[in-house]
Structure 1
Amino acid sequence: MSFQPLPKVPRTRRAVAPLLAAPRYEILPLPRALEATEQLPAGSVVTVTASPHKGLHATIDLVEDVAAQGMRAVPHLAARQFRDSAELAGVLDRLDAAGIDEVFVVGGDNHDPAGDFADGLALLRGMADLGRLPTDVGVPSYPEGHHTIDDATLWTSLRAKQEYATYTVTQLCFDADAICRFAAEARRRGITLPVVVGAPGVVDVTKLLRVGLKIGVGDSLRFARGNASVTGKLLRPGGYRPDGLVRKLASRVAYGDCTLAGLHFYTFNHVAATARWVRNTHRRAA
């Protein structure tokens, strides 16, 4: 998949349309996930998270099924879940057989590595050593920092990863200004990876809590560690809708203040509601 900077347009309303032209939908490896993704248009990008609670192969099993639905399926490969290069090669073989040529590489939430790969950079180098880097490789980035990693280390890591990656997706963020400051700072530091914004989808409080109980609260709300305001926004009465965030991002893009490559929605498996919002909002903006 090739990411291009979104076009600059003179009005905020029109700038919403390119942001929503080809969104990515992140899902969790839970029962009935396929019932959610089958409601998406064929060819939609669907990413499947890595869960320490469910294990590596829950992600790979689901991503194979999503690909069979006709979606562009993207597994999250968590470095600390792999034992060694042999297991990595086996997983890459399965992805090749399923026609999957894109991955998203993370360190993972496991406290201790299962084997040879301590972090995402190590796994990227492991794939490169095997001569098996997929066509497209995404890596995470952190507009508001990380609760256990200092900023200098984050920037050093991202700069090193761009040798292997083709784009970066930001961790969940509600602040358009922080996202655009991050994108500008990345360019200043010589990081040229296209920036895809990680945004919350349409979230229903009851369903979010139900998902948390199924997969383990630490997995489903992993992004909220050290940031109580994130949890508060998602769990507020009436749920959450991304209208305000998307409008603010579109405004910054429209006036040339921010260069972004699209949106990646954290759906918590509320795919239908998020996809419906995307469809309706895109139609009004077009």
Structure 2
Amino acid sequence: MDCPSTASASAVAPLLDDFSLEMTGKDIVRLEEARDLIPAGTRINITFLGNEDPGTRLAAARAVRRFGFTPVPHISARRLRSRPELEELLAALRSDGTADHVFVIGGDPTTPHGPYHDALALIRSGLLQEYGVRHVGISGYPEGHPTIADPVLWSAIEDKTADLARYGLSGGIITQFGFDAAPVLAWIEAVRARGVAVPIRVGVPGPAGIGRLMTYAARFGVGTSASIVKKYGFSITNLMGTAGPDRFVHALADGYDGRRHGVLKLHFYTFGGLKPTARWAADFRTREGN
């Protein structure tokens, strides 16, 4: 593996400090196994999967809080069937003390199940702050979205961040994961050029089997050309191997300039591997002297 440059080593610390993780509602046992490796207060996003019921998601949010971390439940706009269903979810989160931070997303269904056709509709419902939400995360797509045109994506970021400020809510962007730091950094500069100053968490794939990573990349429309795959550290001839984000994080740190990119942190997509990801982060910080 390539050794990090001096610039990379010195710039990694602010990126890795206060990183966040992602889990599903069914990952409570995995979270408990990894808890000693995760810094107290770490933000842990809880995905909104169609095959998990609200009780599963709520239990996961409670577990995150119980273990000393900050739960960030996802709310999928197009999966909600009605305004009362959204209110019921928000009321339950508030009752559990897990409503401070949420992440709003349009979701997978092409046709909305109810009145909310995208994340902006959730923000404009006025219900988030009414039920105690203080911070709202939104999505960013440095390499574009397979079914949404770029002008629509840009308008969405501008409108969502503007409306969050209008409603008195703090906001932040979490990007889709990628394997090449260059387009991510270029996209972040474009975000800042549009006057969007909220913190950005760069999506990073946690260490996992190469075949598994490639499968997720294909599912989410992430670029995986041969040159990118080689740069990230994949071995095309050995899809049974594993890959970690060392090279990606070093490249991101090398190109990071706070004056141009603003506040950046890392958000790890764990793909069910909470403990390997937490261990990688702890080991990486030790190797970097952080």
Q: TM-score range by the shorter chain?
A: 0.7 to 0.9
Give the counterpart of 1:199 among 204, 208, 212: 204
Q: 1:56–1:81: 8 Å Cα contact kept in structure 2?
A: no
Amino acid at match of 1:49: T
* Structure 1 position 92, deviation (Å): 1.3
Q: Aligned with 2:203: secondary structure?
A: strand
Give the TM-score of the pair, scaled to structure 2.
Answer: 0.82
SS at match of 2:40: coil
Matched-pair contact (CA < 8 Å) for 2:31–2:274: no
Residue 155 of structure 1 aligns to a residue whose secondary structure is helix
**What is the CA RMSD across the aligned residues, in angstroms?**
2.8
Structure 1 residues 195 and 37: CA distance shift in structure 2, 3 A: same
| Residues 1:223 and 1:105: Cα distance change in structure 2 (over 3 Å) | farther
1:218-257 pair list within 5 angstroms: 221=216, 224-227=219-222, 229=224, 236-253=239-256
CA displacement, residues 193-213 of structure 1 (integer Å, 9 cap, x when unaligned) = 21110110111358x59xxxx
Identity of aligned residues (%): 32
Q: CA deviation at 1:222?
A: 7.7
2:254 is aligned with 1:259: no
Aligned residues: 267
1:282 matched to 2:285: yes
Moved more, 31-40 or 169-178: 31-40
Distance 1:133 1:13, change over 3 A: same
Q: Distance in 1 between matches of 2:69 and 2:106?
A: 25
Give the Cα–Cα distance (whole angstroms) in 1 for the partners of residues 52 and 181 of structure 2: 32
Give the match for residue 189 of structure 1: 194
TM-score (norm 1): 0.83
| 1:35 and 2:32 are equivalent in the alignment | yes
Aligned twin of 2:60: 62
Query: CA–CA distance in 2 between the matches of 1:48 and 1:129?
Result: 17
**What CA deviation, in whole Å up to 9, does each residue of 1:155-198 have, x standing for no partner?**
00110100215110111111111111111101111222211101
Q: How does 1:71-86 map to 2 (within 5 A)?
A: 71-86=69-84
Shift, 1:243, TM fit: 0.2
| Aligned residue in 2 for 1:121 | 120
Q: How does 1:83-122 map to 2 (within 5 A)?
A: 83-100=81-98, 101-122=100-121
Identify the residue that residue 212 of structure 1 maps to in structure 2.
none
**How far apart in 2 are the matches of 1:244 and 1:275?**
17
In structure 1, runs of 5+ residues without a counterpart are 1-9, 210-216
**Equivalent residue, structure 1, for 2:3:** none
Maintained 8 Å contact 1:198/1:265: yes
1:3 aligns with: none
Task: List per-residue Cα deviations over 1:118-157 (Å, max 9, x = no partner).
Answer: 1111111114587346111000010000000000000001
How big is each residue's C-alpha offset from its partner over 1:65-86, in whole Å with a ceiling of 9 and x where there is no partner? 2222221111111011212222
User: What amino acid does structure 2 have at the position aligned with 1:118?
Assistant: H
CA contact (8 A) 1:51 1:109 kept: no
Q: Please say which of residues 182-191 and 23-32 is displaced more in the overlay.
A: 23-32
| Separation in structure 2 between the aligned mates of residue 152 and residue 133 of structure 1, nearest angstrom | 32
